[in-house]
């Protein structure tokens, strides 16, 4: 197995985090560090090819280590442990500082520098769920006292139980940070409620406090999954008091697996296994990677943050191996597209839902009709650490060392960046920082998996879904895959064209009105329509002509 040569600084203590200074040694280069995570200012690492770094600050002990591309050392004293401790711990700060201690609500997003502003964005109930699970890791690692962690969890669950707006046990997607009231006329969200409940059940397994256990149990039992199905075998994406149920269902393979497991395991309003069986699982193939199609990487990560799918399969797939293949395909596509977009490369990959130069987008990679524009989300690589540890750690180190000034902040990695557009996001998002914490912790100790999987309701849901514990090597074993041929900008043919005057009308082009209307409809969507592709979500709007962005769709 090939390995990279990396120079690793010894780690310096800093308040609640281990901090470090690193430098790559693939090529001779110099890194000027203004300030590292421990507060050491103004030093330079001169890196010689194949040799050790020469620190300009006395007392920094640099040593060379090797990081394999396909595996990583996660032992307590391993060479990656201190770096992962720093990334996980800094990301955990989001759920300490961006949470309202009076009610447990967590900001949907926050500026990744300075102090949090509770008016900057509303709270996200999915972020609350990730935070409830993350706080168990924080307590276990000493980033927050166990007493304080227990108090925060109890406060959160009591607020959701007594004061949060809800309907049939489901909560609104976004709420006011102070009051918990619905904002933006958003929907009661089935998926986001499921993520909140997953976090609540995880926390209840960690703390011995009987009130926490009782609150989590009652909140879970309150969710009426049958009502949310609205007569369908699938769960609706949501409900609003103005218009009732949304006309969209969780009918395709995506991040909703944890929601269906919770729904089937419910002691009060359970769904049957028919819902799980009916989910569409279209197979696709990109290069050597065969998997169930769902282009954004988060769809292959969210459920795995809670459910330990290792060495398990149902009648359809080994979902852990499926996520391995999805991550490898995502990375390979970035490598293949690196001549088209500066951001992409073997250590710069991760296409998932994130903020981009043109707004929040459901970025993804083949197989499937993927949307991309050169924007990479560090959290996408980080949250795949359980699937591709070596590649994920190498990517995180690349983001940290190469772009620390632009990408690293109060809560770890900022959301995304795009070198072609000179774009570096200024915000961190709770639904990206959360999986970063949970997946790194699962990689290091398996804590979140152990807690969530120990719930009897989860075990019931897994049995209903038909998991027999016998994993197969192939990700999916039924139906032929659809081979996906990606389109690459750097391979496009050069075509000379003449500009058409803006004042031309359909009649000038001698096209029948019906032909023109049909053609126009095929290439244009307005902001009332959902984005094309798999796992369409109400939040992902297309506000420009598809024609102008057609090079990003395939």
Residue ranges of the domains in the chain?
1-68, 70-483, 500-552
Poorest-confidence range of 33-42, 109-118, 125-134, 158-167? Answer: 33-42
- Of 502, 503, 547, which Cα lies nearest the Cα of 523? 547
pLDDT band per the 50, 70, 90 thresholds, residue 499 = low
Mean pLDDT of 450-457: 98
Looking at 94-108, 197-211, 494-508, which range is the least confident one?
Answer: 494-508
pLDDT at 350 over 50: yes
* The pLDDT of residue 74: 52
Q: What is the pLDDT of residue 542?
A: 40
49-58, 480-489, 522-531: least confidently modelled range: 49-58
Using alpha carbons, list the distances in angstroms from residue 456 to 31, 259, 517. Answer: 52, 15, 56
Q: Would you state the pLDDT for residue 345?
A: 97
How sure is the predictor about 39, in pLDDT bands with cuts at 50, 70 and 90? Answer: very low
Query: Rounded to whole angstroms, how far apart are CA atoms 510 and 508?
Result: 5
Return the CATH architecture of domain 70-483.
Answer: Alpha/alpha barrel (1.50)
pLDDT bin (cut points 50, 70, 90) of residue 134 is very high
Contacts of 162 (CB under 8 A, 6+ apart): none
Question: To the nearest whole percent, how much of the chain has pLDDT over 70?
Answer: 70
User: What DSSP assignment string belongs to 476-505?
Assistant: B-SSPPEE-----GGGPPP---PPPPTT--
Q: Does the pLDDT of residue 494 top 80, yes or no?
A: no
Model confidence pLDDT, tens digit, residues 254-303:
999 999 999 999 999 999 999 999 999 999 999 999 999 999 999 999 99
Residue 92 pLDDT > 90, yes or no?
A: yes
Give the pLDDT of residue 524.
41
Indicate the SS3 state at residue 197. Answer: helix
pLDDT confidence tier of residue 79, bands split at 50, 70 and 90: confident
pLDDT value at residue 493: 53
pLDDT value of residue 369: 83
Please give the average per-residue pLDDT across 149-169, as a whole number: 97
Does pLDDT of 96 surpass 70?
yes
Q: Is pLDDT of 484 > 70?
A: no
Closest to 416 (Cα-Cα) out of 367, 360, 369: 360
Handedness of CA 184, 190, 195, 200 (dihedral sign): positive
Q: Residue 471 above 50 pLDDT?
A: no
Burial class (CB in 10 A: 0-12, 13-18, 19+), 213: middle
**Percent of the chain clearing pLDDT 90 (strictly above):** 69
CA atoms of 120 and 428, how far apart (whole Å): 12
Query: For 77-99, what is the mean pLDDT?
Result: 93
Q: Residue with structure tokens 């959360």?
A: 434
Q: How far apart are the first and last CA of the chain?
A: 33
Average pLDDT, the chain: 81
């Amino acid at each position: 197995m090939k390995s990279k040569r990396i120079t690793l600084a010894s780690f310096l203590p800093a308040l609640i985090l281990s901090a470090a200074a690193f430098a790559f040694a693939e090529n001779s280069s110099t890194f000027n560090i203004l300030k590292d995570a421990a507060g050491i200012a103004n030093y330079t690492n001169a890196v010689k090819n194949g040799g050790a770094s020469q620190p300009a600050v006395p007392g920094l002990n640099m040593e060379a280590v090797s990081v394999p591309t396909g595996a990583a050392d996660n032992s307590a004293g391993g060479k990656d442990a201190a770096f992962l401790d720093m990334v996980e711990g800094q990301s955990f700060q989001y759920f300490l500082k961006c949470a309202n201690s009076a009610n447990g609500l967590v900001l949907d997003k926050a500026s990744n520098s300075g102090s949090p502003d509770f008016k900057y964005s509303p709270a996200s109930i999915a972020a609350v769920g990730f935070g409830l699970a993350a706080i168990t890791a924080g307590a276990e690692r000493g980033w927050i006292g166990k007493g304080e962690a227990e108090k925060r969890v109890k406060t959160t669950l009591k607020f959701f139980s007594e004061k949060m707006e809800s309907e049939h046990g489901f909560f609104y997607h976004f709420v006011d940070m102070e009051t918990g009231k619905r904002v933006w006329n958003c929907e009661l969200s089935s998926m986001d409620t499921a993520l909140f409940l997953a976090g609540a059940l995880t926390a209840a397994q960690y703390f011995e406090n009987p009130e926490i256990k009782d609150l989590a149990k009652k909140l879970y039992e309150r969710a009426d999954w049958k009502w949310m199905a609205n007569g369908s075998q699938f769960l609706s994406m949501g409900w609003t008091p103005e218009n009732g149920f949304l006309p969209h269902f969780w009918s395709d393979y995506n991040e909703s697996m944890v929601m269906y497991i919770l729904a089937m395991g419910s002691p009060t309003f359970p769904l049957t296994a028919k819902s799980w069986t009916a989910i569409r699982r279209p197979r696709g193939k990109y290069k050597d990677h065969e998997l169930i199609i769902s282009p954004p990487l988060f769809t292959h990560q969210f459920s795995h943050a809670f459910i330990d799918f290792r060495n398990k399969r149902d009648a359809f797939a080994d979902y852990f191996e499926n996520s391995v293949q999805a991550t490898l395909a995502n990375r390979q596509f970035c490598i293949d597209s690196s001549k088209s977009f500066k951001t992409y490369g073997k250590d710069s990959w991760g296409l998932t839902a994130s903020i981009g130069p043109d707004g929040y987008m459901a970025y993804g990679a083949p197989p499937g009709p993927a949307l991309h524009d050169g924007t990479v989300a560090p959290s996408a690589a980080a949250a795949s650490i359980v699937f591709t540890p070596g590649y994920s750690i190498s990517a995180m180190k690349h983001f940290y060392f190469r772009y620390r000034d632009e990408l690293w902040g109060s809560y770890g990695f900022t959301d995304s960046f795009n070198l072609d557009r000179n774009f570096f996001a200024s915000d961190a998002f709770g639904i990206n920082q959360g999986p970063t914490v949970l997946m790194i912790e699962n990689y290091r100790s398996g804590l979140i998996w152990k807690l969530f999987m120990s719930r009897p309701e989860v075990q019931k849901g897994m049995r209903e879904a038909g998991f027999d514990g016998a994993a197969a090597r192939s990700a999916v074993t039924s139906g032929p895959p659809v081979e996906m041929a990606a389109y690459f900008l750097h391979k496009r043919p050069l075509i000379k064209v003449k500009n058409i005057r803006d004042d031309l009308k359909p009649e000038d082009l001698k096209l029948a009105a019906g032909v023109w209307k049909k053609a126009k409809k095929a290439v244009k969507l307005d902001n009332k329509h959902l984005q094309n592709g798999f796992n369409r979500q109400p939040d992902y709007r297309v506000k420009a002509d598809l024609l102008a962005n057609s090079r990003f769709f395939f």
